[in-house]
Amino acid sequence: MSKQATIASLIRTAAKSEADFVETVEAIFEEGEVDRIWEFFDRLNIPRSQGAENTDLEAALPVLSGASITHPMNFEEEVKVATGIQRYLDRHERKIKWHAGHPSIEGAENVLLLFRGAMITTNMRLVRLRRLLASKDELTPVEWSGARTLMNKSYLSFRNFLGLVAGDWIDAVHTVVPHEELNEKIGRFHELVDGQIQKLEQLKDELEERRRELTVLPDGFPPVKPPLYFHGDLLGKGPWKLYWNTVKGRAHHFREAMA
């Protein structure tokens, strides 16, 4: 039996390229140890100096379809892993914020690489959430709360990344890099962002359809349908409309900035 790789070595491998990132994520889920999956994401760190020499930044995002999607977990385990994933996303959101404060053509590849990693991970966690909700028809309040929080943080994290890349960073880098040089580096990355927004809209509709089929069983009370919440606010058509208007507005700004 081969020796199990250390988390530190897995992190070093994942940081080498996007292909290594995807392969390592699949491998850690294949192991199936919740604590190791959580620790991997909790500690995962892509350096600000990492370029994209081995990654086509304009290529379609890899679609994870192996153990990272299919390995089953219960609600408690999924929520634990989600805390590690959120730490990874928050850490790299701060890196893009740093780039916005220190704009350069040299940092452009790193910004887009980190954003691609965030989008790949967001898609993975939302598809896993869809599968998790499909595993039970009746949830405890704690299970629904965990699922709701996971969905909320996934969508809000994407909005934060997009706000930085398509707002603060692109505006800042335009002040120090000639338009033609930046355009050559970024290419048609905005099309990738547009496609990601469409993907997130599709996943939201699928999750909402499943929510309407579920039942929550509060102790001592009759069964209820899972309530609509989004970041602590009642979620109806209005808040979602505001959310999509915000992200599509940022995407439009990004597209216009590269025109």
Tell me: the pLDDT tens digits for 3-24?
A: 889 999 999 999 999 999 999 9
Is 255 a residue whose pLDDT tops 50? Answer: yes
How far from each other are the two terminal CA atoms of the chain, in whole angstroms?
55
Would 210 be classed as within a structural domain? Answer: yes
Would 215 be classed as within a structural domain? Answer: yes
Query: Is residue 247 a contact partner of residue 197, using CB atoms and an 8 Å limit?
Result: yes
Residue type, 6: T
Sequence-distant (6+) residues with CB within 8 A of 205 are: none
Between CA 72 and CA 142 the distance in angstroms is 19
Within 10 Å of residue 150's Cβ, how many Cβ atoms? 22
Q: What is the pLDDT of residues 145-197, one digit of tens each?
A: 999 999 989 999 999 999 999 999 999 999 999 999 999 999 999 999 999 99
Residue range 133-151: mean pLDDT, rounded: 94
Would 41 be classed as within a structural domain? Answer: yes
Domain, as residue range, for 189: 7-257
Query: Is residue 139 a contact partner of residue 226, using CB atoms and an 8 Å limit?
Result: yes
Q: What is the pLDDT of residues 72-86, one digit of tens each?
A: 999 999 999 999 999
Would 109 be classed as within a structural domain? Answer: yes
Would 35 be classed as within a structural domain? Answer: yes
The confidence score (pLDDT) of residue 229 equals 56
Would 128 be classed as within a structural domain? Answer: yes
The confidence score (pLDDT) of residue 98 equals 98
Would 1 be classed as within a structural domain? Answer: no
Total domains present in the chain: 1
- Outline where DSSP puts E strands in the chain: 138-139, 215-216, 229-230, 233-234
